Chains A and B, each alone.
Chain A
Amino acid sequence: MTPAIELSDVRKSFGATPIIRGVSLAIEAGTRQALIGPNGAGKSTLFNLITGKYPVTSGRIRVKGAAVTDLAPYEINRRGLARSFQVTNIFTRMSVFENIRCAVLWSAGYRYSFWHRISAARAVNERAETVLEQLNLTARRDVPAGVLSYAEQRALEIGITIAGGADVILLDEPTAGMSRSETEHVVGLIRQITAGKTLLMVEHDMSVVFDLADRIAVLVYGEVIAHDTPERIRANAAVQEAYLGVPQGGVA
């Protein structure tokens, strides 16, 4: 089966500084996976390479078997890959409903249409209302997104990501800065919306990672040092070393 995302020897340097140093990784379709690693390991950079925000220095990226290496973000998105951002990235002056609706438009086939009335686009509006209900944001429907609370904005951030119905979803620290109960709600939400889809997420909260992920990839200094099931990752010596600083072989 074709992997949902496939990286082959992807490298990225900013100036002379290598950030991603040869990552090869395959994310099987229909799985939930997490990308973890210490700060500065290059997790967000890797997301930005996969989604087309930055061009790669070398290497190839495939999404659902199709090469996307040099495509623009919007072209990659149209192939069914959507992402959220670590720092909330929403349409601040538009209403919550409009935020979601804009995220639905392209996938509903409206393209750059100026001959359709958006209020008559029934499928789009129904989909947007459904997503709002999933997010528990229906009551905030007509509020400008910029005035939402932090947790609500994070929920909207995820909503914009999934509204278009993409089947490969990348979430960048979806629970960052949230309280325990908010985190629990978001985890439930993620589980619900990614059923039957492919999820790759960057996350620092290990309870979330081990709760949600089928497999975990560990990125350290721009290299994937392990990619395995949660149990095996827990036992992995290299991972232990990366997080705990135990010298390899020192324990044995």
Chain B
Amino acid sequence: MLDKADGQIFTGNVRLVHAVGMHARPAVKLTKLAKKFQAQISVRVAGAAEWINAKSVVKIMAMRAAHGSTIEIRASGSDAEVAVAALVDLIASDFPDGA
């Protein structure tokens, strides 16, 4: 699911399977995980105009990503590739507890 765009930027996309969409609990988990990486990470609902900082819970909530929508992830920086893979995994596995 990952493709290398241009040397520095890594991207991925994943379907949001969480039953209530991107709500408080998943948004908190997503930002917590994103903050573990040095990389600059952005996300958006597929096709949306604006990329959103994956480390901001306020902006993630404001994204209003619904159940079944596709989330695009883009990262650049030293650990960008791992970061994209980890976030894809978190969303695909429906934000398991302990993640």
A binds B: no
